[in-house]
Homo-oligomer: A and B are copies of this chain.
């Protein structure tokens, strides 16, 4: 009787009991990843991504053995799950926690890397694929497939970048590599769509111009949408905040508005990743200062936790999915060919990234007067290396191009899917494992901190803002006051981005903050948490 008792509840809950088993195992594995990741944190080689990948692979093997080789994954890889639920919190949190000053100071370099760089990488990988794959006997690839391969392997994995680079240790590199990853997405969307909709056999200057126009349209509208959503949330919370506090409502509104901006971007066919990234930046600049102290602590950590869990989820998932037996069965008769294709693609990824990082860094350095702001050769090598990882975005794009409804029919498509998995696993594990030691060898912490002081002055945060750990945003803001204000004359004579930043500050202080709130511009309300920092609501 007892075992029958809940049959109803299970029937209510899910259509079959096996999916409950899967969900249990998956949640338990997530817990295991967190605990093991915590225990291995001191280890200089490991990081949470690689732990999750390894646990995912291990579980995949166990499931493969227990089911007698029938299946290896608990859940089928779903693009919906990835793009609708897992990616938004990661990118939003990145925007929310990014050091804004650092990001905007390097804005032109980031754009150069993300847009032009991705195009160069795309061209080299596509040309290389045409050159090498024609010689190999792997079936006839259409021009669309070749170009799709270029787009798939040009997509830098910004999730993995967040794991291996540390914003506090290497802020310049972090903002360059991560910012590039975000812009890279917009470029990938345009590229991938162009491949699927343009007439690829008749490329002329009109189509090329359309392509550029489309990119600019996508970039500007996506950014504007994110900024508007962020400003709207700041305005709403500032107006609603008439002496009454409701942390739950504030936190809920911030999460929902951010998600709404992502979904609106999807609705209007924009780059949702760009939108939610800029929404995060605006929210941390205005909205975050309009809410109660406990809302600030909650949002800061809740967004980071969501992002953290989503990241582990993705890597666990990719690790488990990699052993899916269906895909490997197709290519089991020609293992050498698959290894060959994977090696060629890995080589092209390395080459494609080198082909834009070094020339574009040279170009970027030409525009900088101060040697402090230039990207040194060691930093260039690190940027090149840290962006080599390919992750869930590449997987999702490959599934989109080479499978129909999750199944791999053709021999050629199976090779492409397995090669993508191989490249993703190899680049994440090998390149990922080597990034932390590489950063330490090329840019030792002591020297690193010295060279970074000019671009990211660290204020004694524990004295100024004892309640805000990690000095979320206030660090950059305080810094700008300490450094910029007394030297505004020199600044106007120096590089233009500083001047732009200076005028932005004046515009922000005189117009934006009084309307949308922000640090120090929330009106005084009796009993408000800004009145007394020790009183928590």
Q: Mark A421-445, 1 if CB is under 8 A from B, else 0.
A: 0000000000000000000000000
| A534 CB-CB contact with B under 8 Å | yes
B214 adjacent to A244 (CB under 8 Å)? no
Q: Mark A3-18, 1 if CB is under 8 A from B, else 0.
A: 1111111111111010
- Interface centre among A12, A247, A249, by most chain B C-beta atoms within 10 angstroms, is A12
In the docked arrangement, what's the CA distance between A256 and B310, Å?
Answer: 12
Contacts of A210 in B (CB 8 A): 1
B260 adjacent to A27 (CB under 8 Å)? yes
Interface size bucket, A side? 35 or more
Nearest B residue (CB) for A294: B297
Q: Shortest Cβ distance from A150 into chain B, in angstroms?
A: 15
A468-B536 contact given A249-B308, A269-B7, A297-B294, CB 8 Å threshold: yes
Contacts of A304 in B (CB 8 A): 247-248
| A493 CB-CB contact with B under 8 Å | no
| A400 CB-CB contact with B under 8 Å | yes
Question: Which of B196, B246, B269 meets A3, CB within 8 Å?
Answer: B269
Contacts of A396 in B (CB 8 A): 12
Interface stretch of the complex, out of A33-41, A277-285, A364-372: A33-41
| A483 CB-CB contact with B under 8 Å | no
| A133 CB-CB contact with B under 8 Å | no
| A57 CB-CB contact with B under 8 Å | no
Contacts of A534 in B (CB 8 A): 466-467, 534
Contacts of A492 in B (CB 8 A): none
In the docked arrangement, what's the CA distance between A507 and B302, Å?
Answer: 35
Q: Mark A209-250, 1 if CB is under 8 A from B, else 0.
A: 010011001100000000000000000100010001011110
Question: Which of B9, B240, B260, B272 meets A266, CB within 8 Å?
Answer: B9
Nearest B residue (CB) for A245: B469
| A268 CB-CB contact with B under 8 Å | yes
Question: Which of B10, B244, B257, B272 meets A31, CB within 8 Å?
Answer: B257
CB within 8 Å of B: which of A1-60? Answer: 1-15, 17, 20-21, 23-24, 27-28, 30-31, 34-35, 37-39, 41
| A411 CB-CB contact with B under 8 Å | no
| A166 CB-CB contact with B under 8 Å | no
A13-B80 contact given A256-B34, A305-B255, CB 8 Å threshold: yes
Contacts of A240 in B (CB 8 A): 35, 38-39
Q: Mark A503-537, 1 if CB is under 8 A from B, else 0.
A: 00000000000000000000000000000001111
In the docked arrangement, what's the CA distance between A294 and B466, Å?
Answer: 13
B9 adjacent to A253 (CB under 8 Å)? no
Question: Which of B11, B214, B268, B469 meets A294, CB within 8 Å?
Answer: B469
Contacts of A298 in B (CB 8 A): 297-298, 300-302, 305
In the docked arrangement, what's the CA distance between A226 and B230, Å?
Answer: 39
| A63 CB-CB contact with B under 8 Å | no
Interface stretch of the complex, out of A187-195, A340-348, A377-385: A187-195
B30 adjacent to A256 (CB under 8 Å)? yes
Q: Shortest Cβ distance from A495 into chain B, in angstroms?
A: 34
| A83 CB-CB contact with B under 8 Å | yes
| A309 CB-CB contact with B under 8 Å | yes
| A295 CB-CB contact with B under 8 Å | yes
Contacts of A197 in B (CB 8 A): 4, 7
Contacts of A6 in B (CB 8 A): 189, 193, 218, 266, 268-271
Contacts of A244 in B (CB 8 A): 41
| A412 CB-CB contact with B under 8 Å | no
In the docked arrangement, what's the CA distance between A69 and B468, Å?
Answer: 53
Q: Shortest Cβ distance from A399 into chain B, in angstroms?
A: 9
Nearest B residue (CB) for A197: B4
| A251 CB-CB contact with B under 8 Å | yes
A467 adjacent to B80 (CB under 8 Å)? no
- List 25 contacting pairs A-B, 8 Å CB cutoff, sorted by A: A1-B213, A2-B214, A2-B218, A5-B189, A5-B190, A5-B217, A5-B218, A6-B268, A7-B193, A7-B196, A8-B189, A9-B266, A14-B80, A15-B80, A28-B260, A31-B260, A37-B249, A247-B304, A248-B304, A248-B305, A256-B309, A297-B297, A298-B301, A466-B535, A469-B537
- Taking A7-B193, A27-B260 as known contacts, 7 extra A-B pairs with beta carbons closer than 8 A to each other, sorted by chain A number, are A5-B217, A6-B218, A13-B83, A31-B256, A248-B301, A252-B305, A252-B308
10 closest A-B pairs by beta carbon, nearest first, are A6-B269, A298-B301, A251-B305, A297-B297, A8-B193, A302-B302, A27-B260, A13-B83, A248-B308, A469-B536
